[in-house]
Chain A
């Protein structure tokens, strides 16, 4: 016993070092799994309110840019409304997009330079935000909600190791998957493209709507480069995001109002 005590005392520095490193690595490893991220990413009210009050100051600096962006979106929406009015006069139809609801939110914390990036927005449970909802910016997809507190929520950015988004090529309607390799926040990687598919630079990629998180047809980006890895039947393509992740500010949390229904349908399929 005395020897043990002496040993602990003699090497306390090294032992403490090992202990603290172990704690750090355990925290880190746990946070890397998708759903644990929801519980561990800190959306505590302390960090949330610090960011929020700082944002209320820095907001003014990008006001001009943000205004222009919102004005452009307004213009686009107005033209869409007129088009839809014309269509709804003549025919009645069920459109997928009508089941999606939008909650406007503001980004209060965001990063682009880590391997795994998170977004924190200023809407939480009290506004009806729940995990597994999508976040879209006026320009395109931005992230997926993972953790929710009363007034704030954290989201995996598209710039995250575990953010995989089901996308389609607008021209051909072919399915593929989007992921991010961690190098440049402006470009992502479209994977699992069947080799018979012709993909050209400039092709538009949009969300497929298969994941229930994002509505169909939300802009993701445009192809800049097509890659055919030797010895593989599935090709890749480099994609330039339409969203400028470095300047995210006004976003929408989107959710499918029929999500519970669809989810239970998928679950019964799994049980069979």
Chain B
């Protein structure tokens, strides 16, 4: 019960942080860190796969409702959620997590968390910018935007984790 409360609290906090604060940050005109993906990244390891997909869809759709881009963030976040298990399995190797560990900086260590976040964010941003332009015409522009935005998103996620994801005081 407490776990679900905690998760929904984190959901609301990250959405508000994204919509009200980070969407106003436009580095160089169009680079916009998308920290809300962290909600999907931090969902506990033992979640049912179908529920993970639905959570991703719901997260993306909520952002879409606020920005006014129906389906764009939902599509990209579902795509990322689809690959979450594969990425976890690839980066963790055979030592699958035990007990109540969560895929967070505090529980799993900075090095693993960084690799995991970087891969997932690149998957998310690539699909997001491809969906947004809906063509392969401006490939170079898409690649540059994906790379630059990914760097800032990962940076934001790491900073957020160091501030809010300390032991004992998990947000």
User: Which residues of A come within 8 Å of B, CB atoms?
Assistant: 12-13, 16-17, 20-21, 23-32, 40-42, 44, 47, 50-51, 54, 109, 111-116, 118, 120, 154, 182-186, 246
Smallest Cβ distance from B17 to chain A, in angstroms?
A: 12
Contact across chains for A21 and B79 when beta carbons are under 8 A apart: yes
Any chain A CB within 8 A of the CB of B171? no
A184, B144: Cα distance in complex, Å: 14
B interface, size bucket:
35 or more
Given contacts A17-B82, A24-B57, A184-B29, contact A114 B69 (CB under 8 A): yes
Given A16-B50, A24-B71; A44-B65 close (CB under 8 Å): yes
Say whether B111 faces chain A, with CB atoms less than 8 Å apart: no
Q: Evaluate contact between A24 and B75: CB separation under 8 angstroms.
A: yes
Question: Which B positions have Cβ atoms within 8 angstroms of A?
Answer: 19-20, 23, 26, 29-32, 49-50, 53-54, 56-57, 60, 64-72, 74-75, 78-79, 82, 131-134, 138, 141
Of the candidates A24, A113, A118, the one whose C-beta lies within 8 Å of that of B78 is A24
- Complex partner residue of A20 from B19, B64, B68, B74, CB under 8 angstroms: B74
A26 close to B53 (CB less than 8 A)? no
Q: Contact: A25 with B75, CB < 8 Å?
A: yes
Which of A17, A21, A116, A186 is in CB contact (< 8 Å) with B29?
A186
Contacts known (A112-B26, A183-B141); A17 close to B78, Cβ less than 8 A:
yes
Are B26 and A246 neighbours in the complex by a CB distance under 8 Å?
yes
